[in-house]
Amino acid sequence: MGKKKVFIFTLIFIFILFLGFNFAEEIKPEIQKKKDASSFVSDFDVQWVWGEVVSVDTNTKTIILKYLDYETDVEKEIILNTDENTQYENCDSLNQIKPADTISVDYIISPEGKNLAKYVVLEKPENTVNPQEESKEVLPEGSDLR
């Protein structure tokens, strides 16, 4: 029985060593660097806000946006910073966004604590029909339906 116990303990010891070496693999530094660079944006939660533009400062590349906080049902303002990586839809740049425009913004909170806009959509106003410009129904001549 003694040889059997030694054999079993030896197998268990070798199994534990094998597991320890497999789980203790070191991550190669070049792989870790690539992960850090490529996952910069994905490490941050992308936030979304929709509201009315209060002001635009093209010098500091910022937008002040008035929006409704749905959790508190209170109107608030947020300062959104833009940079050369900010993408725009329905406009070419920050220069085309004006106060009173309605925009939708995907943004992240940068490591410095700033709200960095990643994607800005300028809402196009819907085509509204002026009642005076509505097409008038043409009645045949001599019709008494007026």
Tens-digit pLDDT profile for residues 3-12: 777 777 777 7
Which tokens sit at 95? 């220069």
Percentage of the chain beyond pLDDT 90 is 52
Give me the pLDDT at residue 12, please: 79
Range 19-23 average pLDDT:
63
103 vs 4: which has the higher pLDDT: 103
80 in Cβ contact with 73 (< 8 Å): no
Give me the pLDDT at residue 124, please: 85
Q: Which class would CATH give 47-122?
A: mainly beta
The rounded distance, in Å, linking the Cα atoms of 68 and 50 is: 8
Count Cβ atoms below 10 Å from residue 63 Cβ, excluding itself. 26
